[in-house]
Amino acid sequence: MPQKIWEAALGELQLQVNKPNYDTWLKDTTGISYKEDVFVIGVPNVFIAEWLRSRLYSLIKRTLTGITGKTVDVQFAIRPTSPGIHLNPAYQADGGTSSKLKEPTAAARLNPKYTFDTFVVGEYNRLAYASALEISEEPGRRYNPLFIYGDTGTGKTHLLHAIGHIVKAKGLNILVASAEQFTNQFITALKNNRIDDFHRKFRSTDFLLLDDVQFLSGKAQTQECLVHIFNDLYENNCQIVVTCDRPPKAISSITKKLRSRLEWGLVADLGLPDLETRLAILKVKAKQLNMPIPTEVLRFLATQFQHNIRELEGALNRVLTYSRLSGTKLDMHLTTQALADIMPKDSKQEAILKLIMTTVADYYGIDLETLKGKRRDKKTALARQVTMYLLREQNHCGLAEIGKLLGGRKHRTVLYGFKMIADQIKINPQLGKSLEELQQQLKTKTTRN
């Protein structure tokens, strides 16, 4: 039970801290015990325990209190990771470093879940995906460097690690690091008079995978070091792949030398995934977890979390964990409960409107896209008019707003649909019964504990 509670907490914390901090400080923690309102979290070492206690204690406590429904006291206990499981090196958020840090091997840093097979391809990421796959097959020949950029949670690190898996399988020497880790190791080497060892390490690789290069902004000495390494690798036809949250021209406080080198090869944009791609990502995740999830729940999540794949998957994990912990059937009612306090800002009212639409669509055996689309068969037309009626009657939506929600329909079309249902329920008992059932379903789903 402590571990299940902690998994739920991690699902929520993943949405509230950035990826480097989550991967470094939280990813390898466990729930050890929960007795007498004291929750004990297992951590790999004292350094991580101290960092969590000083930086994230209040957030962790608040998260656990929200999940358990009780005010808890949080404690940390040293519990090393299992043999063979790698712990990412701890680094300080201000860019500082510790000379005690051990450098993991490149293989240990590759996330086994981040492969080309698990990467969902859509129009928004096709160029980045195709170019990443191509340089994996023929490194150093075409796009060097490959510069992949996109917003947080769009799949940059996933592609970076997918490349690493392919290249590693070919027996090539790879080195994968975040720009922050690169900086920390560079500073450590300077302090310990081991800069030659540092240069030798990075120059001897066949494949350099550097994540989140925007972190080098303002670090002139580190940038100069990277330029020299970059030159050596490029001249020796060694492949370089860099990820960033913005294009090279938009990175502030970097030298002209480094910016020009980042632009030498191919710059590939990872845009925002469309609805169908987000839905496909959730289906892949559900298949990986071997969990049957109602289509209406997946579509609801895909609609609500539009800008960040990591948030999208985190929301799914939270819903699944709530279902396991409560022993409650996973449906729209549980989904809206589980996500009530982490919905994107200003979206709760929108969520209610979409809940009405998905409930009606499910009742009539069609999907949400069909409800909003151009099909005019009898069943779809009835479902659409019932939706218009409920949006107007239950939620007091304006006719223009309803038209927009249902695919851009005109004011007079919505008014006609509303009046049609309002008139028919007076003379059609079956339609009246259907509306009562739908209203009861909506009441149940929108009830909050």
- The CATH number given to 106-270 is 3.40.50.300
Return the domain boundaries, the chain: 2-78, 106-270, 275-446
Class (C level, CATH) for 2-78: alpha beta
User: In terms of residues, how long is the chain?
Assistant: 449
- Which two three-digit tokens encode residue 365? 């055996």
List, in order, residues 6 or more apart from 80 with CB less than 8 Å away.
44, 45
Compute the distance between CA of residue 270 and CA of residue 87 in angstroms, rounded to an integer: 28
Q: What is the pLDDT of residue 440?
A: 87
CB distance 242 to 210 below 8 Å:
yes
Closest CA to 336 of 281, 389, 297: 297
Q: Coil, strand, or helix at residue 164?
A: helix
Token digits of residue 447:
């009830």
C-alpha pair distances (Å), 198 with each of 102, 103, 239: 13, 11, 19
Q: Would you write out the chain's pLDDT as a tens digit for each of its 449 residues?
A: 889 999 989 988 988 887 777 877 898 899 999 988 899 999 987 767 877 887 888 899 989 988 888 888 899 888 754 433 333 333 222 233 333 333 434 444 788 888 998 888 887 888 899 999 999 888 877 789 999 998 877 889 999 999 999 998 888 899 999 998 999 999 888 888 888 889 889 988 999 999 999 999 888 889 999 999 999 999 888 999 999 988 898 888 889 999 999 999 899 988 778 788 888 889 888 888 888 888 888 888 888 887 778 888 888 988 988 888 888 888 888 888 888 777 655 555 677 888 899 999 999 999 888 999 989 899 999 999 999 999 888 776 778 789 888 988 988 899 899 989 988 998 999 999 999 999 888 887 765 43
Of 264, 215, 221, 271, which Cα lies nearest the Cα of 244?
215
Q: How many helices (H) and strands (E) does the chain have?
A: 21, 8
Who contacts 173 (Cβ-Cβ below 8 Å, separation ≥6)?
106, 204, 205, 206, 207
pTM: 0.54
Q: How far apart are CA 53 and CA 80, in angstroms?
A: 17
**Rounded to an integer, what distance in angstroms lies between the CA atom of residue 220 and that of residue 258?**
10
| Gap between the Cα atoms of 302 and 284, Å rounded | 13
CB 135 within 8 A of CB 147: no
Q: Considering the domain delimited by 275-446, tell me its CATH architecture.
A: Orthogonal Bundle (1.10)
Distance CA 284, CA 8 (A): 20
The 10 Å Cβ neighbour count of residue 443 is 10
Q: Say which residues have a Cβ less than 8 Å from residue 129's Cβ, sequence separation at least 6.
A: 116, 119, 121, 159
Among candidates 248, 236, 250, which has minimal Cα distance to 207? Answer: 236
Residues 6+ apart with CB under 8 A from 250: none
For residue 83, give every residue at least 6 positions away whose Cβ sits within 8 Å of its Cβ, in sequence order, or none. Answer: none
Sign of CA dihedral 433, 435, 436, 440: positive
Return the number of other C-beta atoms located less than 10 Å from residue 85's C-beta: 10
Structure tokens at 309: 């794949």
* CA gap 314, 51 in Å, rounded: 23
Q: What is the DSSP letter of 263?
A: T
Q: Which helix (H) or strand (E) holds 60?
A: helix 57-68
CA atoms of 30 and 41, how far apart (whole Å): 6
Across 123-213, where does the E strand assignment appear? 146-150, 174-178, 207-211
Confirm if 120 and 149 have CB atoms less than 8 A apart.
no
